[in-house]
Structure 1
Amino acid sequence: MSIFGAIGIAQSGLTVHRTWLDAVSDNLANISTVRPTSEAAFQARYVVAQETPGPEGGAQVVGAAFGSAEGRMVYEPANPLADENGYVRYPDIDMSSQMTQLIMAQRGYQANAAVVDRAKETYTAALQIGRS
């Protein structure tokens, strides 16, 4: 594999992990979003990634999967969005799971960024050898 191949693979990993970070941050930002029971709850977004076909390798985002629109019903009669029975709809998002995914996506992003840095250093060193 060439240096440029490593940079290309790491770049695709950076893109996938950045998309994953965006999805998790959206999920966490909307964890307390309240809706009336007549509407769908906020749906958590999950990134679907796969290996890039071909000799180049890497990964790519191929879509998104969404959580349940049903959410969870919570009894909050004082909430202005409550129905006649006092219920509102919250998203069915588990904060601990989202925080775990956030850490994994962050570490993956950092690892791919480190690969780009090392490949750049290697390329620069190779150019310096050629100048001597």
Structure 2
Amino acid sequence: MTKKVVHVAVGVIYKDQQLFICKRPDDKHQGGLWEFPGGKVEQGESVFAALQRELLEEVNLTVNGSEELMVIEHDYGDKCVRLDVHIVDDFTGTAHGAEGQQGKWVALSELDDYSFPAANVEIIEKIKQKYEQ
């Protein structure tokens, strides 16, 4: 039997050498781990539209523009995900956990201090390649 692939738009929110991350609720898949905010791409929806909708809902940001960073497919065993990851550095609003989740700005050098889902390891490596001089 083939597993369903969940298509997710992920926003790497970047401002002033810092990234905004959120903690997943304990009762969700990969609960208690930190992540870059985002959510499922709905049927017929573009990745950018999903990113705009999800980041407004989750972290109270209006996304004006984004740049594709990478696409990752990851099999967690119980679930497969396809992550469309975008750098979001053109936005308005003040980021915070708008759905009750913990959110915080962290420096790139601090990312290794947080536990992320396995699929996010590649994202972090790519971000470091992009921003570390």
TM over 0.5: no
TM-score, normalising length: structure 2: 0.25
More helix by share: 1
More strand by share: 2
- Which structure: larger Rg? 1
